[in-house]
Amino acid sequence: MKRKLASVTAVALASALALAGCSGTSTDTGSGASTDGKGKTITLWLVGSDTPDTLRTYLKDEFKKETGGTLDIQQQDWGNIVTKLTTALPDPNNTPDVTEMGNTQSPTFTNVGAFLDITDLYSSLGGSDLLQSFVDAGKVGDKNYTLPYYFGSRYVFMRKDIWSQAGVAVPTTLTEFNSAVATIAQKNPAGISNFSGFYLGGQDWRDGISWIFANGGDIAKQQNGKWVGSLEDAGSLKGLEQLQAIYKSASSAPNDAKDSNQYIYLNDDDAIPGATTADASTPVSLSAATIMAPGWAHWSIGTKGTADGKVTRTWDDKTFGVFALPGNDGKPAPVFAGGSNIGISAKSKNPGLSKTLLKIIFSKTYQEMLGKAGLGPANSKYTSSLGTDEFAKALIESASNSKLTPAAPGWASVESSGVLEEFFSKIKDATDLKALAKEYDAKLTPLLNAK
Amino acid sequence: MRPSSHDYHYSKGGDVTAQATETRTHTLPDLIEPVRRRRRRLTPYYLLIPSAVILVIAMGYPLVWQLVTSMQQFGLSQQFGQPAPFVWFANYVKLAADPYMWTVIGRSILFCFVTAAATMVVGILVALLMNAVNRSVKIVIQIAMMLAWAMPVVAAMTVWNWLFDWRRGVVNWVLTTLGLPFQDHNWLANPLSFYFVAMIIVVWMSVPFVAFSVFAGLTQVSDEVLEAAQMDGASPRQRFWNIIVPIIRPVLAIVLLLQVIWDLRVFTQIKLLQDAGSIASQTNLLGTYIYQLGTGSSDFGTASAVSIFVLVLTVAISAFYVRSMLKEDA
Amino acid sequence: MTTNRVAEETTTAQYRPRGRANRVLLSAVGILLAVVWIFPVYWMINSAMLPNVVLQSRTPTFAPFGGSFDNFASVIQGGTFLPALGMSVVIAIIVVGCCLLFAFLAALAISRFRFRGRKAFVLAILFIQMLPAEGLFIAQYKLMSSVHLLNTVLGVSIIYIAAVVPFTIWMLRGFVAGIPADLEEAAMVDGLSRTQAFMRITFPLLAPGLVASGVYAFLQAWNEFTVALVVLQDNADQTLPLWLRGFIQASASRAIDWGQVMAASTLVAVPVIIFFLFVQGRMTSGLVSGAVKG
C-alpha cells in the first residue's frame, strides 16, 4: 500500500520533472508539434527488422519534407531492448527521441516516467480508433504516454488432412476445439508415435493463457489499488482444468517446451531414427495435427519441395489451414496480442519534432503501408489494408478479441522471473489445481507490485 | 632481490606526468635486468601506472557504484531520476533470509567445483598428451582445440543446443541409432541432466585455454633435467610430481583459480541453455539470478547485493589458496 | 583427490611413452580427442552450407552434400558484416596491444620488485575479476556517457582493457617469475648488448606467456557482448557479437534462418582462426622451444 502510494507520487513527480526539464532545455516549444527542424536530427529506435526498408525510407523522406530536419533511424534487437531503454532513456544527451518497444514493456517504462505526455496529440493521432488494449498499455491515469505502433496476433494452424482422417470438423466453440484435438490424439490416424492432437508446450503460457481468458479468468486483477494474482479465480480455474485435459490427452509436448518453433511439428519431414517397424509405413516426423502460434509462423509451414535446386517449403491449402481460436460466446477466444508501442522519450531535446514524426507515423498513408507489410496497423480504420487472404482474416479475427498482459508496474519482473512458465509446466501433473493456482498467485502478487 | 628496507623511500605522490616521462628513459631490457642498482625504488610504481590508471577509471567507478547501489533501494524509478533511499544492509538481509538464494548459492558452488575440476583434469591431460605424441598428431590436437576455442560463444551455444535438442538433436539420434531408448529424450527438463549438459559445454569451451596454458608452461620444463632425473631412477610419477609440477606450478595455480572464478559466475552458457529449455527457477545459478534480478526485474539494488555477495564468496573460496600463493612468492 | 589421482596415473602411464604400442595408443587417443573437440565446429560449418528447411529435419544431415555457399553469400550481401568486422578488428587490436604492454610492465613490477603496496595491488587485480559482470552495465553506461565516450571504439576498448588486464598481469607474472634473472646477465657477459640479451634470451622465454595472454585478451574482446551493447547504441556501428546476436533475433515476425545464423557464426570465427594460426606458429616454434630447452 505504502509502496504503491509512494510510487504513484514518484511517477507524478517524475513526469512533472521531465516535462519541466523538456521545456527548460529544449529549443522547440515542447507543446504541440514543431516543423522547424532545419539542421536538426532526431533519432528513432525501431526494434527488430519488422519495419521494412521502404517504410523506413518513407519516414525519413516525409520527415525531411515536413520539417527540413534529418531522421536518424537506429535499429535495435528485441532481445536487448530493455537493457538499451534502461540505460539510454534517462540520459538526456543520448536518448533516442522516439522509440518503439514491446507492448508488454510499455507499462514498466511508462510508470517510471520515461515517456513524454502526449495526451494533447491523442485524438489527432487517431483517438478511439487506435487499438485500445495497446493504448491502455501506454497510459498512466488518464494520460497517454505511448501509443500502439503495430499489432500481431496468434491463431491456430491445423493439418487439414489429419483432421479429416480423424473425422472431426473445424470447431466453432472452444469446447468443440478441446474435444476435437483430444479425439485426434486418441485416434492418431497417421499412426505416429507420440502424436499430439494439439501441440502445446508445457511452458507455453503465451498460447495457453487463452483458455484462462476464454473462461473469464485472468492472470491478475486490481484490488483496492493493488495488483493480485487471479489464477485461483473460478474462471481461471475452469480454464486451467481444460488446459490440464489438453496436456494430458491431446498434447505430447515436453513439460519444458516453450513458445518457439511450434511450426516444425506440423511439417512432414523424413524418417524418424529408430522407428519401429510398425511406424515404418509412415516415415514422417510430423508430430502434431494442430498448433497455435503467432501469425508469421505461416512462412515456415508447408510441403517440402525444391525450387532452383534449393529445398523450400510451400504453404498448401489442401494440407494446411488456419483459424482463430474460437471462444464459447460466439466471439473468438481472447488471445495474447503481439506487437509494439511507440513513445517520445521524456528526456528528448526535440519534443516538437518528435511529435511531428508521430503524426507522420499515424497518418493514413503510413498506417496503410504497415498493413500492406503484414503488420496490423494501430488505427483500426485501416485494418483492411492487411488484405483478404486467410492469414489476414485469421489475424484480424483473432486480434478483434485480443488481450494484453496486465498493466501492472512489476509485469517485467513477472516475465523475467519465469514464474508463469513454471506454473504452466506444473499444470499437467497437478493433483489439486486450485492449490497450485493459489501457490502461484502468492508468488505473482509481490512481483506484480514490485517497482 | 632488493631488501625491503628501501621501501619507505618511495616518493609520496609528485607530478605524475613528470614520473611518466621519466619512465621513458628506461629501456625495456633495462627494466628486465635484475634489480641491483640504485634509483630504482620508484620503478615498480612507474611500471604499474598504465594498468592502475585504467583499472581505477574503468573498474573503480562501476565497483563503487555496485557497492553503493547494493545498499540502496534502487529500481527502475531510481534509474529514471528518483532519489534512491539508503537502506543499508536491508537488501543483504532480505537475501540472507531467502531460502532460494541459498539454493542458488549451493548449486553454483557445486557446479563450479565439479566443472573446474573436470576442466583442469582434462586440460592437463590434453597438454601432457600434446607433449607426448608425435608432431603430426600434436598439430591435429592443437588445431581441434584452437577451432573449438575460436568459436564464438553465441555460435557455440546454438550448436550445442541443437546437438542436445530433444527432437532433432544429434546426441539423441546417435544414442537411438545405437539402440538406446533416447528417442525424444529431453535433456534439459531435468535439472540434473541440464547441469550435466551445461558442464559438458563449459568444459568443452574451457579446456583449450587450460591445455594451451599448461602446454606453454611445459615448454619451460627442460628435457635434460627430466632425463637426468630418469637416470637417477626417478619413476615417471616422481618426475611428474617432483619436477614438472613444481615448474609449471605458477601456471597451474592461476589457471585453476581462474577456472573457479569463471565457473562460479558462469552466465552466458546457462542463460542460453535456459532459453532453449528447462524451468528457469530450477536451473538458475548466481550469474543468471543476478541477470534476472537486474536486467529482468529492474531490481538493481538487490542485484548489486547479490553481485557483491558473489565477490565476497569468491574471495572466501579462494582465500586459503591466495594466501598460500602469496606466501610462496613473498 | 580422486581427480588428482586420475591425473597422476594417466600421466605416469603416458608421459614420454616408451613402447611402440604405447605411442600408437596415445596417438589414437589424441585423434579421438581432436574429433570430439572439433565436432561442434564441424557442425556449425556443415549447417552453414545447408538450407534452413533441411536443418529442421528430424534426421541430422552429416555432410553438406548438395549444400551451397548461398547462406554465406546472403549474409555478406546483407552489408552489415564488413563494418562490424572492421569495428571488431580495431577494438581487438587496441585491446590486445594495450593489454600486453600494460600487463607486461605491471608483471615486471610485481615479480621483479618488492615494494610497498605490492600485495595490495596483486590482491586488487585478483579480486576485481571476481565481481560478476551481469550487474555492471548501468554503471558502465553512466561512466561512458559522462566522459562522452558513448558510441566510440575507445569507450568500448577502455572497458575491455580494464576487464582483461588483471588476468593478463596474473598470467604474465607467472612467466616473468619463471625466467631466471641471471640468464640475461650471463648473456651479457658473453658479449651481447642489453637489448640483444633481452630480445634473444628473455623475450623468447616470455613469448609463450605473451601469446597465451594475448590470445585470451583477443578472445575476450572478440566475444564480449553486454558492454558493446550498452556503449554502442546504434546497430549500424556494432561489433561482431552484437551483429551475430542481431541475426538470431532480427525479427519478431519471421522465423530465424538457422542456416544463415551458422554462416554468420562461421564468418565471426574465421578471423579468430586466422589470428590463432598466426600466433600458434610462435607458440610452438622451434626457436621458442629451442631457447627454452637448450
Catalogue the long-range contacts made by B35-38 (C-beta closer than 8 Å, 24 or more residues apart): B35/B1, B35/B2, B35/C112, B35/C113
* Shared-domain flag, residues A203 and A250: yes
Rounded Cα distance between A422 and A444, Å, is: 12
Residue with cell 484490488: A223
Q: Tell me the C-alpha distance between C113 and A444, whole Å.
A: 58
Same domain membership, residue A284 and residue A162 = yes
Q: Does residue B61 surpass a pLDDT of 80? A: yes
Distance CA A365, CA C258 (A): 35
Given A87, A93, A270, which is nearest C57 (Cβ)? A270
End-to-end CA distance of chain A: 12
- How many domains does chain A contain in total? 2
Give the residue carrying C-alpha cell 498448401.
A316
Percentage of residues of chain A with pLDDT beyond 70? 88
| Closest residue on chain A to B282 (Cα) | A422
For residue A362, name the pLDDT band (cuts at 50, 70, 90): very high
Sequence-separated (6 or more) residues with CB below 8 Å from residue A182 = A197, A245, A246, A249, A250
Beta strands in A17-77 (DSSP E): 41-47, 70-76
Q: Are B220 and B246 in contact (CB under 8 A)?
A: no
| CA C243 remoteness from chain centre | 19
Amino acid at the residue C195: T
Asked if A357 and A378 sit in the same domain, the reply is: yes
**Domain residue ranges of chain B, discontinuous segments joined by +:** 4-69, 90-329
d(CA A197, CA A288): 6
- Alpha carbons B238 and B235: distance in angstroms, whole number: 5
Tell me the average pLDDT of chain C: 80
Q: State the DSSP string of C242-260.
A: HHHHHHHTS-SSS---HHH
Pick the CATH number of C74-293 from 3.10.520.10, 1.10.3720.10, 1.10.10.60, 3.40.50.300: 1.10.3720.10
Å between A89 CA and nearest CA of chain B:
8
- Looking up cell 505473482 gives A444
Q: With respect to residue A405, please indicate whether it lies within any of the assigned structural domains.
A: no
* Distance of alpha carbon B226 from alpha carbon B230, whole angstroms: 6
Is B223 an interface residue toward C (CB < 8 Å)? yes
Q: How many CB atoms lie within 10 A of CB A254?
A: 19
What mean pLDDT value characterizes chain A?
Answer: 86
Tell if the CB–CB gap between A14 and B179 is shorter than 8 Å: no
Q: Is C289 on the interface with B (CB under 8 A)?
A: yes
- Asked whether residue A403 is assigned to any structural domain, the reply reads no
Q: How many CB atoms lie within 10 A of CB B231?
A: 8
CA distance B322 to chain A (A): 36
The answer to whether residue B267 neighbours chain A at the CB level (below 8 Å) is: no
Q: Pick from B151, B265, B308: which is nearest to C41 by CB?
A: B151
Across the interface, whether the CB atoms of B296 and A417 are under 8 A apart is answered yes
Distance CA C49, CA C55 (A): 10
Nearest 10 degrees: CA dihedral of A428, A432, A433, A438? -130
Q: Which residues of A touch C242 (CB under 8 A)?
A: 77
Query: How many cross-chain Cβ pairs, B to C, lie less than 8 Å apart?
Result: 373
Sheet holding A320-323, edge to edge: A290-294, A154-159, A320-323
Domains of chain C by residue range:
2-73, 74-293
What's B309's DSSP letter? H
- How do residues A111-123 score in pLDDT, each as one tens digit? 899 999 999 999 9
CA distances from A116 to A318, A352, A354 (A): 50, 11, 10
Q: Do C241 and B154 touch (CB under 8 A)?
A: yes
Same-domain pairing of A200 and A313:
yes
Q: What is the DSSP letter of B327?
A: H
Q: Which residues of B fall within a CB distance of 8 Å from C283?
A: 212, 216
* Cβ atoms of residues A243 and A430 within 8 Å: no
Q: Which stretches of A349-417 are DSSP H helices?
A: 351-361, 364-372, 390-399, 411-417
Distance from CA of A279 to the nearest CA of C (A): 15
Do A213 and A252 fall within a single domain?
Answer: yes
DSSP structure class, residue A80: G
The pLDDT-based confidence of C259 (bands split at 50, 70, 90) is confident
Q: Which three cell numbers stand for residue A274?
A: 529408430
Does one domain contain both A326 and A365?
no
pLDDT value at B229 more than 70: yes
State how far the Cα of A391 lies from the Cα of A299, in Å rounded to an integer: 11
Range of the domain at A209: 154-335+410-449
Q: Which residue has the higher pLDDT, A155 or C126?
A: A155
Confidence (pLDDT) at A10:
47
Q: How far is C279 from chain A (nearest CA, A)?
A: 35
Residues A43, A98: contact at Cβ < 8 Å? yes
The Cα of A277 is separated from the nearest Cα of chain B by a number of Å equal to 14
Residue B250 pLDDT grade (very low, low, confident, very high; cuts 50, 70, 90) = confident
Contact: C12, B329; criterion CB under 8 Å: no
A155-169, A281-295, C41-55: range with lowest mean pLDDT = A281-295
Structure confidence by residue, pLDDT tens digits, A26-79: 344 446 788 888 899 999 999 988 888 999 999 999 999 999 999 999 988 888
Reply yes or no on whether the pLDDT at C142 is more than 60: yes
What pLDDT does B106 receive? 95
Picking from C98, C99, C105, C272 by the largest number of B CB atoms within 10 A of its own CB, the best residue to mutate is: C105
pLDDT at A164: 94
Q: At which residue does the C-alpha cell 527457477 appear?
A: B281
Is there a single domain that holds both residue A121 and residue A53?
Answer: yes
> How close, in Å, is residue C130 to chain B by CA atoms?
5
H helix runs in A97-188, sequence order: 106-111, 119-122, 132-137, 160-165, 174-187
**What residue in C sits closest to B225 (Cα-Cα)?**
C293
Closest chain B residue to the Cα of C169, Cα to Cα: B51
pLDDT at A414: 87
CB A367 within 8 A of CB A385: yes
Looking at the domain assignment, is residue A404 inside a domain? Answer: no
Least confident of A86-90, A235-239, C1-5: C1-5
Residues of chain C numbered 133-152 and touching chain B (CB < 8 Å): 133-140, 142-143
Q: Which of C57, C109, C123 sits opposite B168 (nearest CB)?
A: C57
pLDDT in tens, C215-254: 889 988 999 988 999 999 887 788 998 888 877 765 445 5
What are the backbone dihedrals phi and psi of residue C213, each rounded to the nearest 5 degrees, phi first? -75, -30
The per-residue pLDDT for range C160-191, each reduced to its tens digit, is 999 999 988 987 887 787 777 777 777 778 88
Q: What's the maximum distance between 2 C-alpha atoms anywhere in chain B?
A: 76
Q: How many CB atoms neighbour CB C55 within 10 A?
A: 20
**pLDDT on residue A279:** 42
Fold topology of B90-329: MetI-like fold (1.10.3720)
Pick from B305, B258, B266, B301: nearest CA to B286: B266
Average pLDDT, chain B: 83
Rounded distance, CA B285 to CA B310, Å?
Answer: 11
Place of cell 502461484: A440
Residue, of B234 and C292, whose pLDDT is higher: B234
Chain centroid, CA B52 distance in Å: 21
Say if B85 is an interface residue toward chain A (CB within 8 Å).
no
Contact residues, chain B, for A410 at CB < 8 Å:
297
The alpha carbon of B22 is separated from its chain's Cα centroid by a whole number of angstroms, namely 36
Q: pLDDT tens digits, residue range A192-207?
A: 888 899 999 999 999 9
d(CA B210, CA B190): 30
Residue B14 pLDDT greater than 60, yes or no: no
ipTM: 0.79
What is the Cα–Cα distance from A323 to A337, expressed in whole angstroms? 16
Contacts of B42 (CB under 8 A, 6+ apart): B10, B11, B19
So what's the pLDDT on residue C292? 36
CB distance A301 to A267 below 8 Å: yes
pLDDT higher than 50, residue A273: no
* Residues A444, A295 share a domain: yes
Find the CB nearest C252 among A48, A94, A310: A48
Whole-number Å distance between alpha carbons of B252 and B213: 8
